[in-house]
Structure 1
Amino acid sequence: MLIRKMELEDIDAVVAMEHELFTSPWSKEDLVYEITKNAFSTILVLEIEKEIVGYIGMWNLGDQTQITTLGVAKKHQGHGYSKVLMNKCIEISSYLGYDNINLEVRVSNQRAINLYQSCGFKIVAVRKDYYQDTHEDAYLMIKEMEEKSCH
C-alpha cells in the first residue's frame, strides 16, 4: 500500500472513480487545475499493487485543512481505505500545525457521515441547497485537532 501525491497520469483513473461514485463528479479539467495551478491544493492517491484504489483532496488554507473530495473505488470499499486516507490527511494537518479540518457532506450520505464521526468530526451547521445537481443540503463538519487519528 502506497499513498502519494496525485500526478497527471493518475487523472483518468481518479475521474473514472469520481463518475462511479458521485452524481456531481469532478471533471478532468478540475483535477488538472488542482494539481498544476492551485497552490493550496493537495490530492493524494492510495495505490495497491500499482492500482489506484482511492484518493483524497484537500486545501491547506491558513490554519485549517478543507477536504474537497474523498473516494474509494466501489470494488475496494469495505477494507478501511477511507480511514487510511483520512488518517493521512489528519497526519498532514497535524504536522502543519493546523487547528481544524472541515468538509461538507450530503445529509443523505450516512456512510460518509459515520466515517467522519469516527475520525472526530462533528456536525456544526447545515448548508441549505448546497449541491447543485440535486439541491440537497450538506452538513458542515469540523474536526478539532486534539485527536490525531480515526477510531
Structure 2
Amino acid sequence: MLLREMQEEDLDEIERLEGVLFTPAWSKEDFLHELKTNDYAHYYVLVDDKIVGYAGFWYAYENCELTTIGIDPNYQGKGLSKLLMDYGLKEGHNKGCMNYSLEVRVSNERAIRLYKKYGYEICAIRKDYYADHEDAYLMVRKEEK
C-alpha cells in the first residue's frame, strides 16, 4: 500500500469514488481547483494497484482542517482511514498546527467514532449544513505545545 500526494491524473478515479461515497459529491473540477489554486490544501491518496482511499487537509498557520476522507467500500474496515488520518495529522503537527477541526454528518456514527479516537470533540451543530439539509457536527481538538 502506497500513500502519496494526490495528482491531477488521479482525479477521474477520485471523482468515481467520491460519487460512490458521498451525495452530493465533489466533482473532478472541485478537486482540481483545490490542487491548483489553494496553497493551504494538501490531498493524499492510498494506492493498492488502484486508488482505494483519499483525504484532504487544509494547513493554514496553526490550523488544520480535515476537508474530506473516503475509502473504497471494498476496502473499508481495514484501518485505511487511520493511515490517512495518522499521516495528515502528523503533517499538521510538523507544520505547527495547534487547532484541528472538521465537519461531519450527524448521522455518520462510524466517522464520529473514528474522530473521537483522535481526540476530536463535538463543539457545535451546523444546521442544514449539507445540500440535503442534514446537520453537521463541528468537531475540534487542540494540540498542546
Would you say same fold, with TM above 0.5? yes
Matched, 1:18 2:23: no
Tell me the residue number matched to 2:33: 33
Q: Indicate the SS of the match to 1:23.
A: coil
Q: Indicate the SS of the match to 1:79.
A: coil
Partners of 2:84 and 2:69 lie apart in 1 by 8
TM-score scaled by length of structure 1: 0.92
Matched, 1:56 2:59: no
In the alignment, is the contact (CA less than 8 A) between 2:61 and 2:96 conserved in 1? no
The aligned length equals 144
Partners of 1:37 and 1:107 lie apart in 2 by 30
Tell me the residue number matched to 2:67: 68
Partners of 1:119 and 1:17 lie apart in 2 by 25
Partners of 1:71 and 1:18 lie apart in 2 by 7
Q: Report percent identity of matched pairs.
A: 46
Mapping of residues 129-144 of structure 1, within 5 Å: 129-132=128-131, 134-144=132-142
In the alignment, is the contact (CA less than 8 A) between 2:53 and 2:72 conserved in 1? yes
Partners of 2:61 and 2:26 lie apart in 1 by 24
Partners of 2:142 and 2:15 lie apart in 1 by 30
Give how far 1:145 is off: 2.1
Tell me the residue number matched to 1:149: none
* Cα distance per residue 1:99-133 (max 9 Å; x no partner): 1211000000001101111111110111111112x
Tell me the residue number matched to 2:76: 77
TM-score scaled by length of structure 2: 0.96
Partners of 2:100 and 2:11 lie apart in 1 by 25
Give how far 1:36 is off: 1.2
Partners of 2:103 and 2:97 lie apart in 1 by 18
Q: Indicate the SS of the match to 2:66.
A: strand
* Cα distance per residue 1:51-108 (max 9 Å; x no partner): 1110001111121111111000000001000011001111001111111211000000
In the alignment, is the contact (CA less than 8 A) between 2:44 and 2:55 conserved in 1? yes
